[in-house]
Amino acid sequence: MGRVTIRDVAERAQVSTATVSRALSGAKPVSPAVVDQVRRAADELGYAGNGIASALRRSRTDTVGMVVPSIANPFFTGLVEHVEHALQDVGRQLFLCSSRSDPELEAQRLRSLVARQVDGIIISPVHGSLSTTAVRWAADELPLVQVDRYVTGVDSDWVGVDDDAALELVMEHLADRGVRSAAFVSSQLTNSSTELRGAGFRRHAARLGIAVRERDVLLGEYSIEWGRQAALALLAAGPRPDAVVCADDLIALGMLQACAAAGVDVPRDLLVTGFDDIPFAALSHPPLTTVRQPQAEIAAEAVRLLSRVLGAQEAPPARVALRPSLTVRSSTSR
């Protein structure tokens, strides 16, 4: 058998990993019966614990680590700012790390945060499967909340936007504008958000009778440059669809730039939508119709969930999908 983890002890004792941590460290009150149950499970499995994590439970640092895929992406920049404000309201400081969309660097960042004895971690995982091992390990060591994106098989809370509801808003809006065919431009399907947005696009397009050609589903990355490249590919392939649904605003901004350079009028010749409602979305030409993510609410809920665990409140892991809204601007107004 490999190294015994706190998760193994939790499964043997039939309690949460947070309860195991409290029972073994004595940092928070746990009933004597539960303490005995956890210690017996730990002894049976030969669990030695983690020295750093144990020290952490004995002495709080009032810091929370946050790991995001890219601080250059305005969506994550805004989310980080809201998380910092929410943490300040509860007397904690933010320790920010960027994983640069690299699962290996993400794992290093998580190990560093645990070693620095932060009280808990908020993370938006880079990859739906390649991030799982590191996120699970970190969740075994410290209270952890996933935001926006998530990996499955991890005993942690998650809070983000309801991606399917977001695509429902987009596709119904386009259908009301008379759209009969649409393209979808996104990053590769390597994380939960991208996968859910792609699935939502297809499902609601089919429901509303909006045609989607496979060649018009283009996957690359979340960037303005990819939006430009995708636009050129769509325009060159012809005939162009009635609308292009972009999985984030950066892609949509690149799409608008390339269309303008090619003499394609948006929205007269083509409707374009984005996702996130970053500040630049209102400043583009034309201003971009986009899904607004409730960043302040996501941040506040993430901090609340983390504070709940740090405050020794027992509860099963929560999944909180917040309702988005659609900001309609000129890119879809014929």
Residue 55's pLDDT is what? Answer: 43
Residue 50's pLDDT is what? Answer: 52
Query: Which of 9-18, 157-166, 240-249 has the lowest average pLDDT?
Result: 9-18
Q: Is-contact 310 119, C-beta < 8 A?
A: yes
Burial readout 100-127 (b: 16 or more C-beta within 10 A, e: otherwise): ebebeebbebbeebbeebbbbbbbbbbb
Q: Which of 97, 31, 95, 120 is nearest to 303 (CA)?
A: 120
The mean pLDDT of 17-32, rounded to a whole number, is 71
pTM recorded for the entire structure: 0.82
Gap between the Cα atoms of 183 and 186, Å rounded: 10
Residue 56's pLDDT is what? Answer: 43
Residues forming CATH 1.10.260.40 domain(s) in the chain? 6-49
* Whether residue 53 has pLDDT greater than 60: no
Question: Cβ neighbours of residue 304 under 8 Å, at least 6 residues apart?
Answer: none
The confidence band for 25, taking pLDDT boundaries of 50, 70 and 90, is low
The mean pLDDT of 129-147, rounded to a whole number, is 94
- Fold (CATH) for 163-293+326-332: Rossmann fold (3.40.50)
Residues forming CATH 3.40.50.2300 domain(s) in the chain? 63-161+295-325, 163-293+326-332
The confidence band for 58, taking pLDDT boundaries of 50, 70 and 90, is very low
**Residue 207, token pair as written in the block:** 């429901």
Q: Which of 173, 192, 191, 174 is nearest to 183 (CA)?
A: 174
Which ranges of the chain would DSSP assign to H, the alpha helix? 6-13, 17-25, 32-45, 51-58, 74-89, 103-115, 132-141, 163-176, 192-208, 224-237, 249-261, 295-310
Residue 112's pLDDT is what? Answer: 94
CA distances from 83 to 70, 76, 92, 152, 310 (A): 15, 10, 10, 23, 16
Q: Which of 235, 231, 273 is nearest to 254 (CA)?
A: 231
**Residue 171, token pair as written in the block:** 């596709």
**Domain 63-161+295-325 of CATH type 3.40.50.2300:** yes
Quote the CATH superfamily of domain 6-49: lambda repressor-like DNA-binding domains (1.10.260.40)
